[in-house]
Amino acid sequence: MKKLKIADGIHMLTMNVEDILFEGIWEIANGVTLNSYIVQGEKTAIIDGVIGWDGIPETLYKNLEEIGVDPKNIDYLIVNHMEPDHSGWISNFSKIKDDFTIICTDKAAKMVYSFYGGDNVRIVKEGDTLDLGKGKVLSFHPAPNVHWPDTMYTYERDTKTLFSCDMFGAFGRMGDRCFDDELTAEEIDFFEFEGIRYYSNVMTTFTPSLRKAIEKAKELEINTIAPGHGPVYRKNPQKIMDDYSRYSLYAEGLGKNEVTILWGSMYGMTAKAVDYVEKVLQREGVKYNKLQMPHVSDSEMIATVFKSAGIIIAAPTYEYKLFPPVAAALNELGRKRISGKLAFRFGSYGWSGGAEKELKEIIERNKMKWDFIESVEFEGAPKEEDLKKVEAGVLELIEKMREKVVE
């Protein structure tokens, strides 16, 4: 766990967490940070404590003492969001101090009791404030369904710091540099993709609510954005707000100027057409990603499809239906409400077709509203005329996806 000064009277405690499935689902190959913030006036508040996943509450207490905070002197626990990666410290903290107040929204208050049994709660609503003394005044701004209904922003008026919890967060471990103005060009690119992975895996289902949360943040005068995961933005907080606005467009069909091939093959028949498509994309100078299912994690698959302007689905018929690993991937994209993508599908069949029928059922059932170029199916291995049809579909995709590009 590291200790960093954000501003006078404000510190961040951050730790890297690795080798877990985030939310018990998402593989995070590059880890994730858990960030907690301490605001000190005459009284002291801690925002979103980080113990729980390392199992060592003493780690938090030791670091608090090193920045001059006796845990027994903490007056307020501010819970922006009740998910246990942010609130899992409440039960343990109550063992060393029982006269503290939890600050949260009304929806979070119900969960405080059901999760941890606490009843020392002050419910806040839009614009309510907490004066800690010495010029430190916190205001509270509910941002529901980011990505739970209980979420709120906490804003420190003196330093104009927004504690945004999951909003404006990213996956990815942090090294020695935790502020946006310290990151190298390589680290900026790293957190760009990890931000996309985080948004697409965790947030994208709630995109309409996130857009409202972005607008709510814009109503505040912000010098620093301090999220619960990922870097702190103090040089250019507008950038991460703009990034999140762009990600919200990816959720509805726009994307980067690239194609993702989402594919699977039983005995190499469909794979032959995939190899041919790669040569076409290379010839046309189109950047592409190649995801063979089921060898790629759902986390990577969702993030990569999410950010791409064009999608190629290459999958054969299997037992009268779409090749199961690809069908499962599409269903997961539907669950995440990733809609409006431009797509083209091709694939092989043996004694009977059926893949195309299930593809349409998946798209319709999940209300994905993807825009499909006419599919190409071929019996057995693709012949020259089949490959030419596939090439025509790919070229049509490349032409049409220009209208979908947002970088």
Q: What integer pLDDT is reported at residue 71 of this predicted model?
A: 79
100 HSE (CA, 13 A, CB side): 25
From-to residues of CATH 3.40.50.360 in the chain: 259-398
Q: Hey, which bits of 144-284 come out as E strands?
A: 152-156, 161-165, 224-227, 256-263
Q: Would you state the pLDDT for residue 50?
A: 62
pLDDT grade for 199, boundaries at 50, 70 and 90? very high
Question: What are the residues whose beta carbons fall under 8 Å from the beta carbon of 208, sequence distance 6 or more?
Answer: none
85 confidence band (pLDDT: 50, 70, 90) = low
Q: Does residue 268 come out as left (phi exceeding 0), alpha (psi in the -120 to 50 range) or beta?
A: left
C-alpha separations of 113 from 14, 53, 120, 140, 144 in Å: 27, 20, 9, 21, 19
Domain at 259-398: CATH code? 3.40.50.360
For the chain, percent of residues with pLDDT exceeding 90: 78
Computed over its alpha carbons, how large is the radius of gyration of the chain? 24
Q: What is the location of CATH 3.60.15.10 in the chain?
A: 2-250
Query: Which residues fall within 8 angstroms of residue 32, CB to CB, at 6 or more apart?
Result: 16, 17, 18, 22, 171, 172, 173, 198, 229, 230
The model's confidence at residue 53, banded by pLDDT at 50, 70 and 90, is very low
Give which of 407, 28, 32, 31 is closest to 243, Cα–Cα.
Answer: 407
Token pair in block for residue 24 = 């018990």
Residue type, 80: N
**pLDDT mean across residues, the chain:** 92
pLDDT at 40 over 50: yes
**Bridge partner residues of 32 (DSSP):** 17, 172
pLDDT at 179 over 70: yes
Dist. CA 323–CA 102, nearest whole Å:
50
Under CATH, what is the fold of the domain 2-250? Answer: Metallo-beta-lactamase; Chain A (3.60.15)
Tens digits of residue pLDDT in 250-308:
999 999 999 999 999 999 999 999 999 999 999 999 999 999 999 999 999 999 999 99
Say what the pLDDT of residue 316 is: 98
- Average pLDDT on 372-389 reads 98
CA 348/CA 15 separation, integer angstroms: 48
Backbone dihedral angles phi then psi of residue 241, each to the nearest 5 degrees: -65, -40
